[in-house]
Amino acid sequence: MADRDFYKILGVERGASDDDIRKAYRKLARKYHPDINPGNKEAESKFKDISVANDVLSDPQKRKLYDEFGEAGLASGFDADKARSYKQWQEQASRARPGGAAGGFGGGFNAQEFDFDDLGDIFGGLGGAFGAGRGRGRAARTGPQRGNDIEAAMDIDFLDAVRGFQTAFTIDRPVECETCHGSGAKPGSSPKTCPQCKGSGTIAIAEGPMQFRQTCPTCGGAGQIPGDPCPTCGGSGRVMRQETVRVNIPPGAEPGKRIRVPGKGEAGARGGPAGDLYITPRIRPHPFLTRDGRDLEMDLPITVGEAVHGATVAVPTPSGSVNVKIPPGAQSGRRLRVRGKGVPAHGKAAAGDLYLRLMVRVPDDGVPDDAVERIDKAYKEDVRKDIRL
């Protein structure tokens, strides 16, 4: 699947400022929010794309990786330095092929042997693109192997992410075969030397100046195969099972910040431990609240009278309604701080605050002319006297 153009999704230029991105996101999020478009699948799909695009482009590090590598750079465990090195090697290898730049490798490269599986580390263990293994070094692959981690994404409502909650998550994952206990062999049978790698655990996949080897796909690096395969798992040592996992989402879950569930990844090979399950939250934006770390911000409409005379008004927060005092003479844009009403405290993290940005709203049906004139006469100076370009 081609990379999505997050800039195009938000309708901004590639060099857009953080403020431009934030404004574009808020405008689109309010337009396509599911609460405003109930039952509209197209709006829901656009809303999800907008949320992902904002999550990436509003984070300087993610944005930098996306600009350089596309969506591949956002994969969990992605190593940018290794990716650059591999890209450089590809360019050098391309110049060395027939029809490439004169001089080939220019005498600068001697024949070398590379473990192709280790190139998968560039992409955080996504070995399917580069090889079958995850371990480092062939010796480690012949003994017990830890199972691969499983990555999953979860859509979470904004307030659920702020408050934290517990949920059930159903996944299909490979678990140890109960018949052969992970060996892949029929109980009572003896293992045989792997016919493909002749017991070495690796096979050659390329020759020439750059020679590559990878883990043998037949024996998985063990050098041996079951004498008679297990009838339950077919010799793989693992079977697929559906499992419901209880997951605790802590208060203040952040988009893209993974939540680890130990031991709920793929079962290990040859008696190795299971991998972990990593859940990446995708936070749905809220139509009124935004978040900065553990602090929350909300625009609070107030009447002209409340702005002039001051008032005490009820304000909803994630932990319940609170009364907030509006000072007399409040201006639009003034921020009020409500301590401890942001993201709740969790572990060593203190509770955040809620910031209210006051927005003076005039009546929708207008104001009588005589009242407007009296208000205008109350201004002692030009309200725009300090505006200079």
Please give the pLDDT value at position 119: 53
Q: How far is CA 375 from CA 56, 294, 304, 369, 379, in A?
A: 46, 40, 10, 10, 7
DSSP codes, 118-129: GGGGGBTT-GGG
**Apex 94 CA angle, 91 and 96, nearest 5:** 115
Query: pLDDT tens digit string along 349-376?
Result: 899 999 999 999 988 887 888 888 888 8
* pLDDT single digits (tens) 2-50: 578 999 999 999 999 999 998 999 899 888 888 788 888 888 888 888 8
Nearest residue to 268 via CA among 173, 359, 350, 362: 173
Rounded Cα–Cα distance for residues 25 and 27 (Å): 5
Q: Which residues contact 354 (CB under 8 A, 6 or more apart)?
A: 295, 296, 297, 298, 315, 317, 337, 338, 341, 342
pLDDT given for residue 91 in this prediction:
66
**Tokens representing 8?**
């195009």
- Over the chain (389 residues), the average pLDDT of each successive run of 10 is 82 92 89 85 87 88 88 74 70 56 40 50 42 39 74 90 90 85 79 84 64 72 77 82 89 87 85 87 91 93 93 94 95 94 90 95 84 85 85
Ordered structural domains, the chain, with CATH = 1-74 (1.10.287.110), 289-378 (2.60.260.20)
Instruction: Please report, as a single letter, which amino acid is at residue 182.
Output: G
